[in-house]
């Protein structure tokens, strides 16, 4: 039962005003840290890998095999989603779906609206025939995580409505000032726009660039229909800071069980704090 798509997960989250975390994973240690923590706190969880992470890990079958295998070996019972983050083409989404991902994001937001809608429609058609959920993006989330450096471009309400109506997409990322990576100063999110887009589209909204947004702004996003929040940068920083500390204390360490597998505790701490902040604990 636990492997699911995002549809029911996000519908429930939106209704009950909490958000399901998407945590990007970079290595197997990451996955252990995220799943152990979500299971302990009884939170549903979305495991995200963008194409560059999928390729680094080995490919779509490696990602699916690793996640499903760990769930089986450890006997996790929480609902989990295997999600392609920032799928860059129909081919990428199809490849992920065929391998056993349960959800995909088609990020064609750098294309003109008509083309973004056209490719999203194509992905939704294929995905829904396989009971897979789809996320699309309007406007540009800033920063440089997945698709090269992007300027922030705010989502337009009418474009969001068209995207949802014409494609039947399950959830939407309206770019409203969030960025991948680090923020320069306090983030300035378009909360009024978020509220309006949530009401007009009636689908759960997604917030990318969840690292570094102050807690009170996260709560405002959830209040305004955001039901999925992506986190990557904070885990990377916490993990590597912890790893540097461990190695600095003992330059002779060569056992991964004493280095990376200990540093993963820093990820567990971040993921726990996000689950509690987003309110997804005990929602499994």
Residues found near Zn ion in the complex (CB under 5 A): 208
Cα 87–Cα 119–Cα 67 angle in degrees, nearest 5 = 25
| Rounded Cα–Cα distance for residues 123 and 34 (Å) | 28
How many angstroms separate the CA atoms of 6 and 10, rounded? 6
CB closer to Zn ion out of 121 and 208: 208
> Which of 208/283 has CB closer to Zn ion?
208
Catalytic (active site) residue 156: no
Residue 39 or 88: the one with the smaller Cβ distance to Zn ion is: 88
Question: Smallest gap, in angstroms, from Cβ of residue 109 to Zn ion?
Answer: 10
Q: How far is the CB of 86 from Zn ion (least distance, A)?
A: 6
Q: Is 282 left (phi over 0), alpha (psi -120 to 50) or beta?
A: left
Q: Which is nearer to Zn ion, 83 or 208 (CB)?
A: 208
What is the CB neighbour count within 10 angstroms for residue 244? 11
Q: Least distance (Å) from Zn ion to the CB of residue 46? A: 12
Minimum distance, C-beta of residue 134 to Zn ion, in the bound complex (Å): 15
Answer whether 121's CB lies under 8 Å from 91's CB. Answer: no
42/217 with CB nearer Zn ion: 217
Closest listed residue to residue 198, CA positions, set 173, 177, 179, 215: 173
Compute the distance between CA of residue 91 and CA of residue 95 in angstroms, rounded to an integer: 6
**Nearest approach, Cβ of residue 257 and Zn ion (Å):** 32
Contact 29, 70 (CB under 8 A): no
Catalytic residue among 36, 68, 73, 85: 85
Instruction: Determine contact, residues 143/179, Cβ cutoff 8 Å.
Output: yes
Q: How far is the CB of 246 from Zn ion (least distance, A)?
A: 29
Where do the DSSP E strands lie in 25-146?
Answer: 45-49, 80-87, 103-106, 133-138
Beta strands in 205-282 (DSSP E): 205-207, 226-231
Report the C-alpha gap between 82 and 62 in whole angstroms. Answer: 12
For Zn ion, give the closer residue by CB, 16 or 55.
Answer: 55
Nearest residue to Zn ion, using CB? 208
In the chain the first and final C-alpha atoms are separated, in Å, by 12
Q: How far apart are CA 3 and CA 8, in angstroms?
A: 12
Q: For residue 151, give the DSSP letter.
A: -
Residue numbers annotated as active site = 85
């Amino acid at each position: 039962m636990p492997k699911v798509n995002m549809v029911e997960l996000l519908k429930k989250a939106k209704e009950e005003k909490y958000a399901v975390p998407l945590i990007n994973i970079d290595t197997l240690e990451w996955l252990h840290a995220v799943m152990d923590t979500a299971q302990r706190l009884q939170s549903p969880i979305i495991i995200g890998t963008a194409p560059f992470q999928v390729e680094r890990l080995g490919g779509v079958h490696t990602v699916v095999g690793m996640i499903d295998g760990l769930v089986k070996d450890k006997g996790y019972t929480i609902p989990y989603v295997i999600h392609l983050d920032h799928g860059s083409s129909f081919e990428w989404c199809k490849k992920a779906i065929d391998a056993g991902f349960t959800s995909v994001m088609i990020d064609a937001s750098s294309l003109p609206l008509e083309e973004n809608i056209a490719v999203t429609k194509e992905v939704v058609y294929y995905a829904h025939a396989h009971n897979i959920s789809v996320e699309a993006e309007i406007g540009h989330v800033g920063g440089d995580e997945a698709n090269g450096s992007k300027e922030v471009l705010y989502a337009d309400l009418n474009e969001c409505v068209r995207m949802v109506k014409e494609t039947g997409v399950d959830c939407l990322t309206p770019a409203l000032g969030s960025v991948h990576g680090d923020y320069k100063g306090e983030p300035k999110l378009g909360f009024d726009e978020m509220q309006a887009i949530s009401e007009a589209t009636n689908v759960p909204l997604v917030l990318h660039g969840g690292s570094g947004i102050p807690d009170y702004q996260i709560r405002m996003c959830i209040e305004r229909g955001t039901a999925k929040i992506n986190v990557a940068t904070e885990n990377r920083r916490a993990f590597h800071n912890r790893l540097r500390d461990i190695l600095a204390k003992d330059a002779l360490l060569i056992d991964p069980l004493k280095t990376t597998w200990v540093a993963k505790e820093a990820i567990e701490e971040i993921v726990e704090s996000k689950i509690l902040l987003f309110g997804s604990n005990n929602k499994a």
